[in-house]
Every structure is written in structure tokens, then in C-alpha cells.
Chain A
Amino acid sequence: MSKTMKIMMILLGLLVVLLIAVPWLVNPYVLQVLILTVTYSMLGLAFAFSLRVGLPRFDITAWWAVGAYSTALLMLKAHMSFWPTILIGGIIAVVLGWVIFIVAVPRGMIAFLMFGMVVAMAMQQIFGSVKFFGGWGGTGLVPNVTIGSFTFANKPELYYLGLFFLVVNLLVYYYLYNSKIGRAWNAIGSSLNLASAVGVNVVRYRMANVLIGNFFLAMAGSYYVAYSLVAVPTTFGFANSIFVMMYIIVGGITHVLSGPLVGAVIITFVPEYLRVAKEYESIITAVITILIIIFLPMGILGWIDRRVKPWFTRWGKEERKVLT
């Protein structure tokens, strides 16, 4: 194993230890913020996932909502255990997504984008307006998630549950990115015309990509309900989709796995530590984002790639598997 790999492994190990130790290191409020960060990271990962094939998606909150509501309603009304609801919510998200994307994906990026926006807003409207979903007040309180006799009730437990989902998400994405399918996706994202010219059925690969993303978005929704114990339409507004995009750009658009995570952490925590009044928080975040877009267009990680990594290896010159 090369020297750089060894360094990476050590750093990764330290990170894992750090992540596990978190509940002992931080106060409950920060832990709560972290839980939300974990959730938003999953949304970010899904966004980066479809961005890979050249489709920025605005419908993130829609499928997140589908997963959340599926879990909430199935647990409340059908008295199901949490775990099967993840699967059901995911399937619903995929099937529904298939119906909608059949029209949107072939029309290209701009159409897909606009469609996504419409879907996100429509979904929120539907969940809010239709009585069956509980209306604008949301669903009732959902029982805590249990596994055997163990209940995920406290923050640290929910945090670990979140990490579990995040890790599953990361593993599956990593695997897919480095597979043949991932290579075709990469080709589509780099150069659509060229990918077509070598026989890649762009529409089909894009469809597969967004539908897989849907499944994991729904999963993130299920987790969210595990934490919040309720699904309320106001959570799933279009504005949240926008935050997700900021994570990607701040983290680094080329780092499909670590970019959203780094971005989520920075965007969530930096305004906290800058100690500004609540009203100015979003302005500060926006300004930071604009500065990063202009001066560090490849994000924080991209900057590290250019400035820091060359000190270690010739990393930049070799092509490599999707590591981060």
C-alpha cells in the first residue's frame, strides 16, 4: 500500500473514532444540530449523485417527504415497525419517480430542473392540503424506533442511527460510482455527446441514476421521522433544496462523496460560531457561498486538492477511482 494510502487510512480511522466519540464530546444542542447535519448530508449526497450525470435536481425535498410520510403514516396507521417502512417508502419514491421522470429526463437538464421544482412544490402542497396526510399540521406523533427491545429515544442513539444510514448511503454510492454503471454516468456528465457517440443510452442511465437517488432520499426521510417523530409539510419546502445545493458547492463539486459532507458541516456550523444575530445568519451564509463560488469554485476540497495535496503526491495528475 502506498504511503499516501496509509496516511489516508490513518486519517480515516481518526475520523471514525472522532465520530463515534461525538456524543461525549459535545453538548446536547450541538448533537441535535449534528443529527440534522447528518440528515441534510444524505440529501446532499443524493444531489451530488444526480449532478454526476449532469442533472441538478430541485425535487430533493419531494422524495424526502415521500419517505418521511410513508414511514410516519405506516407506523401510525398500520402500526408497522420502522424498518419495513424504509423499504416501502423507498419503493413508492422509485415508482412515483419513474412515472414523473419518464416525461422529464429525456427533455434534458433545463426541463428536468424546472420539472423538479414543480414536483417539489406540488408535493408539499399535496401533503399539506390532503386530509389523509394530516394537513398542514402534519401527522400525529410517531412512536420511537425500536430494534428488538432497544428504543432509539435519546439524542446519542438517534445520532448513531443517523450515522448508520449515512454510512450505508456512502457505501452504496461508492460502490456504484466505481462500477461500470458509474463509468457510464461519469461519461454522461463529462461529455454528453461523446457518451452518446460511444453507445451509451443517456436517458436510460440517467433514469437509473435519479431513481436510485430517490430511494435514498426516501430513506433519509424515514430517518428524519425517526428523529423528529412527526412529518410536517413545512419542513419539506423548496427552500431546503436550496441549502443542499450550497453544501455541494462549498464542499467541492468534484468530490461526490465527501463534498456534501464537508459542505454540510461548514454551512451548518460556521454561522453558529460567527456569533451573529439570528436575522443575519442567512445573509452571512449567502455571502460566504457567493465568495466561495467566485474564489474557490471547486469548493473547499477542491482548494485542498490544488494547494495541499501536491505536497504529498502526484495525486492531481493521475486519474483515480472515486475515492472521495
Chain B
Amino acid sequence: MDLALFLQLLINGLMSGGMYAMVASGFTLILGVMGVFNMSQGHFYMLGAYLTFAVAVSLGLPYPVAVLAALASMALLGVLFHLAIIQWTIPHGFFHMMLVTVAFGTIMTQGSLLTFGYDAQVVPAMFPGSFTIGDITLNRGKLLVIVGAIIVMVALYYFMKTKMGTAMKAAAENREVAGLQGINAKRVFWVTMAVGTGLCGIAGALIVPILSATNVMGTNVFIRSMLVVIIGGTGSMSGALLAAFLVGIIESFAFQYIGQLNLLAIFVFVAILMFFRPGGLLGKPLPIPGQ
């Protein structure tokens, strides 16, 4: 394989990997801190993309504004979702919480279909075109996505070190004990939702110039993010990061050779990995009591 192709595939893989990292991290946060298995995680990603389209194309505002709009609106939607719906289901247990995200996800998808239609919606790239180094051509837009993803993940890393971030981690370890340490559970929860869904919003906004907004993008990303969470270990955010890039890269290279079946390649990889390292690449399985 020549270098140009290799780099192309690598870049594609890192790009997808960045998306998966953000979506999977958001998912892991919501699951770990709140115990909610957010089945609508992918749909926040999709809406983030569509919203970016709406702001950048329909309203004609600059792309960065659109990105911020997507971030803010998805975070806000997540918080509203929590305050209006999720928090009332918490006392009923895991299954109820999960199902409510399923239902909400359906509303999101159908709502998006009705608003934006069935067609893919295109958003022009902010830095269109490519540049060349030697005889290798690199697409600017894709590099921007990768850079964007890295910035977001670094920001997330530092956020987790703040007072709120540590509170979230404490809550994830042990909800009861966290309560004893004076951590305001309510606030931690809605902030977690905001971060968890906001991450999806940004991810959608970043990718949309490259991939366009479609109706199925949410489900597609969600599947891969699940695999990332499984591989990375359910409790581990650094594991998720590593796993995300791994999945992205495997997917990208596999697509080159086996096309649509590349998803299967990842499945097989996951299955084998699970057999030998059940705790995931780096993480330990999340200590959900009694499960």
C-alpha cells in the first residue's frame, strides 16, 4: 500500500475515532455518574449535525457560530430532557431510565425527519480544499475535524479535574458516599447530562462539513460508540479514548478491503478482545452494585 493511501485511511480513521471518542465519553459519563444507559446518545450527535446545518446554511451564520450553537443547544436539550423526564424515572431503576431514553430518542429521530426531511444535508467546509506536503495530499477539512476532536478531548480532560469534574467522578464511584461528602447530586446530574450531550453536539457539528447530516448517522455512530465503550472498559474514559481511535482506524482500513462488512471486522475484534481481556483495554468493569 502506498504512503498516500495509508495516510488517507489513517486520517479517516482518526477522524471517525475522534467522533467516537466524544460520543463514547459522553455516554460513559452519563452511565457512570447517573446510571442512565442513554440510548439516545447517537441522536444528540445527529441533531448536532442538523442544527449546524440549520444555523450555517439556512441562517447563513459563520461556521464557528454554528458549532457553538450546536454545542449549546444539545447541552440544553440534554438538561431539559433530564429535568423534565429522566430525573423522575431515577427511583424506578435502570430499566425505566434506559427505556425513557429510548422513547425520547424516537421522538428526536422522528422530529428530525419531519423538520429536515429524508435527504442528507450538506454543510460547506470552513477551510475547503487540501494542501500538499511532498506528494501527499491532505484534506484540510478532515484535519480540522481531528484537531477539533483533540481540543475537545483535552478540554474534557481538564474539566474532569475541576471541582465539578471530581464531584462527577466521586458520584460515579459511589453514589451514596458522594452524597455524604456534601456533593449536590442534583447539580452533578444535570451538569453531567449537559456535558454528555454537549459532547455529541460538538461532534456532530465538527463532522457535518465532511460527512453531511443524515438520519441514520446517529444510529451508526452509536453502534460504534458502544463497541468503543465495550473495548475501552465501561468505567474508563482513557480506555474509551484509546479504543475510539483504534475502532476508527480498524474501520477505516477494513472498509478499504471489505467495504460494508467492515463493521463485522470490528465485531469480530471486539469478540476476541472480550474473550481475552474482559475488563476492556484499560478499564475495569463499572462497579454497578449487585450486577
Contacts and interface: CB of A to CB of B under 8 A. Distances in A.
Does B associate with A? Answer: yes
B261 A249 contact: no
B291 interface: yes
B291 A285 contact: no
B160 to A, nearest CB: 21
B157 interface: no
B177 interface: no
Nearest to A290: B103
Interface centre among B94, B263, B286, B290 (most CB of A within 10 A): B290
Interface string B221-234: 00100110110001
Contact of A294 (B37, B85, B285): B85
A56 B39 CA distance: 14
Interface in B205-233: 219, 223, 226-227, 229-230
A283 interface: yes
A279 B110 contact: yes
A110 B286 contact: yes
Nearest to B268: A122
A282 B110 contact: yes
B223 A111 contact: no
Interface of B, secondary structure class, is helix
A225 interface: no
A290 B263 contact: no
A51 interface: yes
Nearest to A294: B88
A117 B39 CA distance: 11
Given A56-B98, A110-B288, A293 B92 contact: yes
A103 B290 contact: no
B116 interface: no
Nearest to B91: A297
A51 B96 CA distance: 12
Contact of B229 (A114, A287, A290): A114
Nearest to B271: A103
B106 A283 contact: yes
A41 interface: no
Given A110-B234, A193-B290, A286-B103, A118 B278 contact: no
Interface of A, secondary structure class, is helix
A46 to B, nearest CB: 15
A36 interface: no
A286 B278 contact: no
Contacts of B291: 54, 108-110, 192
A125 B264 contact: yes
Interface residues of A, number: 43
A191 B92 contact: no
Contact of B226 (A103, A107, A114, A249): A114
Contacts of A294: 85, 88-89, 100
Contacts of A115: 230, 274
Interface in B100-127: 100, 102-104, 106-107, 110-111, 113-114
A113 B37 CA distance: 10
B95 interface: yes
B55 interface: no
B92 A297 contact: yes
Nearest to B260: A129
B152 interface: no
Interface string A273-284: 000000110110
A126 B260 CA distance: 11
A114 B85 CA distance: 24
Interface in A85-140: 100, 103-104, 106-111, 113-115, 117-118, 121-122, 125-126, 129
A293 B89 contact: yes
Contacts of A171: none
Nearest to A104: B274
Contacts of A290: 85, 100, 103-104
A246 interface: yes
B99 interface: yes
A100 B113 CA distance: 36
A184 interface: no
B159 interface: no
A110 B37 contact: yes
A56 B95 CA distance: 8
B247 to A, nearest CB: 12
Given A129-B260, A285-B106, A192 B85 contact: no
A61 to B, nearest CB: 14
A253 interface: yes
B110 A293 contact: no
A84 B226 CA distance: 37
A108 B102 CA distance: 21
Contacts of A249: 95-96, 99
Contacts of A209: none
A192 B230 contact: no
B67 to A, nearest CB: 28
Contacts of A51: 95
29 contacts: A56-B95, A103-B275, A107-B278, A108-B288, A109-B291, A111-B230, A111-B278, A113-B37, A118-B226, A118-B230, A118-B267, A118-B270, A121-B263, A121-B267, A122-B264, A125-B261, A125-B263, A126-B264, A129-B260, A129-B264, A193-B290, A242-B39, A279-B114, A282-B106, A283-B110, A286-B103, A287-B103, A289-B99, A290-B104
Q: What are the 8 A-B residue pairs with the smallest beta carbon separation, nearest first?
A: A286-B106, A286-B103, A109-B291, A289-B103, A297-B92, A192-B290, A122-B267, A108-B291
